[in-house]
Structure 1
Amino acid sequence: MSPESRSQAIAAAIILFCAGLVIYFLPTIVLWIGSFSPALAVIVGVCLLMCFFGIFWLRARHQRSRKP
């Protein structure tokens, strides 16, 4: 395994672990916020889920710009 691919695998594992934690606690977070405002709970839930995809999109975009 080359150092570059090892770095990529570690970064992906960290991102997936953090995203897994957020997704695991997402129902609790949304229900807690929903007790104050249901609309805000929907917005927070959507934002947290979109951040998961946004991180990978930004990472792919950064890697494309680094290639010669």
Structure 2
Amino acid sequence: MIDRKSGPSMIAAFAIMAGFGLAFYFMPRMMIAIGEISTIAAALFAAALVGAFFDVFWLRSRFQRRMNP
């Protein structure tokens, strides 16, 4: 069951996953558009987006660890 502590965490995780899900859904189109300017920029964009996905959850875990020692 959802209690007072896990509810906000689940909502935040869902919002993060939904946001990145949309970003990854449109990533091929964005990469093609960026790739018309520079293929290196398109590759860097994709790498930054994938890295940001993991960084957000890493930062969230650090925040949760600090708030709940």
**Aligning the two structures, in what range does the TM-score lie when normalised by the shorter sequence?**
over 0.9
Q: CA deviation at 1:33?
A: 0.2
- More helix per residue: 1 or 2? 1
Q: CA deviation at 1:9?
A: 0.6
1:11-66 Cα distance to aligned partner (Å, 9 max, x none): 01000000100000001101100000000110011001111111000000111111
Task: Quote the sequence identity (%).
Answer: 37
Q: CA deviation at 1:3?
A: 1.3
Which residue of structure 1 aligns with residue 33 of structure 2? 32
TM-score under structure 2 length normalisation: 0.93
One-letter identity of the residue aligned with 1:3: R
SS at match of 2:37: coil
TM-score under structure 1 length normalisation: 0.94
Large movers: runs of 4+ above 4 Å: none
RMSD over aligned Cα, in angstroms? 0.8
Number of residue pairs matched? 68
- Residue pairs, 1:37-52, within 5 angstroms: 37-52=38-53
Structure 2 residues not aligned, in runs of 5+: none
Question: Is 1:23 the counterpart of 2:17 in the alignment?
Answer: no
Structure 1 residues not aligned, in runs of 5+: none
